[in-house]
Amino acid sequence: MKQVYFDNSATTPMRDEVIHAMAHVMKEGYGNPSSSHAFGRKAKVLVEKARKTIAHYFNVSASEIIFTSGGTEADNMILRSTVKDLGVSHIITSKIEHHAVLHTVEALQKEFKIEVSYVTLNEQGDIDFNQLERLLEKDGKALVSLMHVNNEIGNILDLKRVGVLCNANNALFHTDAVQSVGHYKMDLKALHVDFLAASAHKFHGPKGVGFAFIKKDSGLSPLIIGGEQERGMRAGTESIHNIVGLEEAIKLAYDNLDAESNYVKSLKTYFINTITKEIPGVQFNGQSQSIEQSTYTLVNVCLPFSAEKSGMLLFQLDLKGIACSKGSACQSGSSQNSHVLTEILNEADLLKPSIRFSFSIYNTKEEIDYVISMLKALKE
């Protein structure tokens, strides 16, 4: 049976070069970076080299990069510390953020009695900048937490515009950039971003490692307490092989970005054109039909299927060897609709099946043809 993987927004396959780099470190660089002997020093060099490499691509200081287990930990550390240690009393976010942000904000609201505001969204899922500006004028120290690229509909946030607004109103700005790091270049110094979260497995790196960008002298304190690793910001022995895998993945992503992003853009364009032609009545959720306003890595489609065809659609596609999703993998066990689509779709469209197809350099147009032919067959 043909196997097609179109769930790259959930996770990506690791590059061979990343696997090779990690295997080498597991065999040759197994010292504890905190140890003072030669084995430890060798491991420490690997960690600090990776930190400098990542800092280079984002135009920040190496000391502003803190390694974490991934985006969720980075989001939690940043959000919790801004409230607990920096005196943030008002968090401004949206209802289509990843649950790593939404659930953390809800917990902080209960624990610290902070004010939480949700910026208004239009039917495409874009934020209302005028309302955001009004929210920033409220009394109290504010933190804006808005994701750069939405993981379900792909909408791209204008980071610079938000950063300028936050800077003008003495507010802090945190962005969950899990879906954009490795896919878009970002000069964090020019963008007025204070905090950012990233995860390696979204750009062909290993699972279980990511990083937080924390602007110098921010005053944040660690979420995980123990030793003095990561400049005291994240206790625990560093996962050296994962960190080196992250470094290799980010180097390959950015050094080959133009050619690889153009290839993936061609896949998205081909998917949109083909499914529009072959399945009349298909709709695109959010801005996902756009190459400019939505990430080039995904399309979220609302299919004109009958109710009886809708219920088992993902299961039927899985039987045909096709991996895709109805939204975030973190909520795949839920029977409820996607919280993102619930915010932007009307009741009639919510009854139809919406599926996210997400692409990578390892996909082909032939795979797209196969998937759309299977969708046509299942519709009939």
What's the whole-model pTM score? 0.96
pLDDT exceeds 70 at position 333: no
Which of 204, 235, 255 terminates a domain? The answer is 255
What is 235-274 written as a DSSP string? -S---HHHHHHHHHHHHHHHHTHHHHHHHHHHHHHHHHHH
> What is the DSSP secondary structure assignment for residue 113, as one 8-state letter?
-
Mean pLDDT along residues 183-199: 97
Task: Give the tens place of pLDDT for each residue, 117-169.
Answer: 999 999 999 999 999 999 999 999 999 999 999 999 999 999 999 999 999 99
324 is catalytic: no
My answer on whether 31 and 163 are in the same domain is yes
CB atoms within 10 A of CB 168: 11
Task: Write out the two tokens for 19.
Answer: 């696997």
My answer on whether 165 and 266 are in the same domain is no
My answer on whether 74 and 137 are in the same domain is yes
Ramachandran assignment for 170, one of left (phi > 0), alpha (psi -120 to 50 degrees), beta (any other): left
Task: Write out the two tokens for 291.
Answer: 């190459």
My answer on whether 264 and 247 are in the same domain is no
Which of 227, 255, 283 terminates a domain? The answer is 255
pLDDT exceeds 70 at position 224: yes
Candidate list 166, 302, 324, 330, residue with the active-site label: 330
Domain limits for position 296: 4-12+257-379
CA 6/CA 298 separation, integer angstroms: 9
CA 72/CA 23 separation, integer angstroms: 26
My answer on whether 251 and 261 are in the same domain is no
CA 291/CA 85 separation, integer angstroms: 40
My answer on whether 345 and 205 are in the same domain is no
Which of 238, 255, 272 terminates a domain? The answer is 255
Confidence of residue 355 (pLDDT cuts 50, 70, 90): very high
Task: Give the tens place of pLDDT for each residue, 91-112.
Answer: 999 999 999 999 999 999 999 9
> Maximum distance among all alpha carbons in the chain?
68
The residue written with tokens 């029977």 in the block is 335
pLDDT exceeds 70 at position 206: yes
CA-angle at 215, arms to 137 and 70, nearest 5°: 105
The count of structural domains within the chain is 2
H helix and E strand count, the chain: 14, 12
Mean pLDDT estimate for the chain: 95
pLDDT exceeds 60 at position 345: yes
My answer on whether 229 and 243 are in the same domain is yes
